[in-house]
Amino acid sequence: MTARREVSSAGRSSPAAWQTASGPATPGPAIELTGAAAQIGGRTIWQDVSVRVGHGAFVALLGANGSGKSTLLKAALGALPLSAGSATVLGQAPGAANRSIGYLPQRRSFDQGTRLRGRDIVRLGLDGDRWGLPLPLAWGGPGARRRAAHDRVDEVIEMVGAGSYADRPIGESSGGEQQRLLIAQALVRRPELLLLDEPLDSLDLPNQAAVAALVAEICRGAGVAVLLVAHDVNPLLPYIDSVIYLAGGRAVEGPVEQVITDATLTRLYGLPVEVLRASDGRLVVVGQPDPPAHHHDRHAHDGHPAAAPGNGG
């Protein structure tokens, strides 16, 4: 395990709209896994994983296709029980604090024909159906609650800069616009922790940079801890406090300059891996193995090094 860096939210500006419902209720790390292992269908996906996401920290979760990044988010949500080790999320057992977590699942696409507006998608994040929990949004009768919900939805739409397209059917919005609306959905309950599974996926480079900056602003603005799954660390380099890198069924955690190195990645993959730094600071990782052949998903066709974490995009 490499050195960890925890970043507190102290001293950051805290625009009211971004504040969590109860302030920094959890002074400890947002996520802590100790000697953790996950199994699916009897197969171990990763093991001996000891990592932490500090309170208010921005952490990237990297690794090749099938390395178990989404599995780690599901374990943090309590959706997949650990097969070994222990975990706390916002100071509680995984699953217990889910109402304080904003979760963006891996790439969802909306049918062109869907009539749901962007605003309706954001509103779904409030309605509690995701976790089956009621939302104590406001006291008073249903009218007052409806107004408070409406105002909060407006507020987060404004925060992510989606005002000009939130009233259109979401199927008519571009991928980048949809991502902003989905981030708004994850934010609408004022979470203390955001778990974002590939929010930069399928965005062009300017939009990757813009969404990365938006997430960083949310993190810094209100001390919301963020664990963000990505295939390319480069758009995140200006913002992240540390990375968790999954490979070969293990994890390494630490600052980028300690983790994305020849030595660390070679050890993790068990194969010679070279990290090149371009003159503009971008990192290119050369020599990573292809994703496992049994992994079938939308990435299966692009298992070349350019799709791997740390690469230039």
Ligand X SMILES: Nc1ncnc2c1ncn2[C@@H]1O[C@H](COP(=O)(O)OP(=O)(O)OP(=O)(O)O)[C@@H](O)[C@H]1O
Among 28, 297, 302, 304, binds ligand X (CB under 6 A): 297
- Number of amino acids touching ligand X (CB under 6 A): 16
In the complex, least distance from residue 47 CB atom to ligand X, rounded to whole angstroms: 13
CA distances from 308 to 65, 85, 151, 240 (A): 8, 28, 40, 18
- Residue 297 interacting partner from ligand X, Mg ion, none (CB closer than 5 to 8 Å by kind): ligand X
The closest of 178, 184, 137 to 159, measured between CA atoms, is 184
70 in contact with ligand X (CB under 6 A): yes
Q: Which stretch binds ligand X (CB under 6 A): 37-45, 130-138, 158-166, 206-214?
A: 37-45
70 in contact with Mg ion (CB under 5 A): yes
45 in contact with ligand X (CB under 6 A): yes
Q: What is the SS3 assignment for 140?
A: coil
In the complex, least distance from residue 68 CB atom to Mg ion, rounded to whole angstroms: 8
What is the spatial distance between Cα 224 and Cα 10, in angstroms, rounded to a whole number? 12
Among residues 162 and 236, whose Cβ is nearest to Mg ion? 236
The residues near 265 (Cβ < 8 Å, ≥ 6 apart) are 245, 247, 259, 273, 275, 285, 288, 310
- Residue 295 interacting partner from ligand X, Mg ion, none (CB closer than 5 to 8 Å by kind): ligand X
Q: What is the SS3 assignment for 144?
A: helix
- The site string for ligand X over 102-131 (x = CB under 6 A, - otherwise) reads ----x-------------------------
In the complex, least distance from residue 212 CB atom to ligand X, rounded to whole angstroms: 18
- Residue 261 interacting partner from Mg ion, ligand X, none (CB closer than 5 to 8 Å by kind): none
169: phi then psi, degrees, rounded to nearest 5 = -55, 135
63 in contact with ligand X (CB under 6 A): yes
In the complex, least distance from residue 68 CB atom to ligand X, rounded to whole angstroms: 4
47 in contact with ligand X (CB under 6 A): no
Q: Within the chain, where are the H helices? A: 69-76, 118-124, 142-159, 175-187, 205-222, 256-259, 262-269
**Four-CA torsion 241, 246, 247, 248, nearest 10 degrees:** 140
62: phi then psi, degrees, rounded to nearest 5 = -115, 160
Query: Which residues contact ligand X (rule: CB under 6 A)?
Result: 40-41, 45, 63, 65-71, 106, 292, 295, 297, 299
